[in-house]
Amino acid sequence: MIIWILIGLAIFIVLIFFVYFNRFAILGNRIDNSLSQINVQLKRRADLIPNLIETVKGFAKHETAAIKAVTDARKALVGAKGIEEKVKADKGLESALKTIFAIAEGYPDLKANTNFLELQRELSSTEDKVAYSRQHYNDSILTYNDLCKTFPGVFFASLYGKKQREYLQITEAEKKNVKVKF
Does residue 34 belong to any structural domain of this protein?
yes
Mean pLDDT, the chain, integer: 87
Kindly report, residue by residue over 154-172, the tens digit of the pLDDT: 999 999 999 999 998 866 5
- Judged by DSSP in three states, 106 sits in coil
Mean pLDDT of the region 28-39: 94
Contact call for residues 74 and 58 (beta carbons, < 8 A) = no
Does residue 153 belong to any structural domain of this protein?
yes
pTM (2 d.p.): 0.75
Which range of residues forms the domain containing residue 41? 2-175
Mean pLDDT of the region 36-46: 91
Euclidean distance between CA atoms 133 and 125, whole angstroms: 12
Q: How confident is the model at residue 29 (pLDDT cuts 50, 70, 90)?
A: very high
Cα-flanking dihedrals φ and ψ of residue 45, to 5°? Answer: -65, -45
Nearest in space to 56 (alpha carbons), one of 42, 68, 73, 72:
68
Query: Looking at residue 137, what is its pLDDT?
Result: 95
- The CATH number assigned to the domain holding 142 equals 1.20.1440.20
Nearest in space to 97 (alpha carbons), one of 114, 134, 122, 80:
122
Does residue 182 belong to any structural domain of this protein?
no
Structural domain tally of the chain? 1
Cα-flanking dihedrals φ and ψ of residue 178, to 5°? Answer: -80, 135
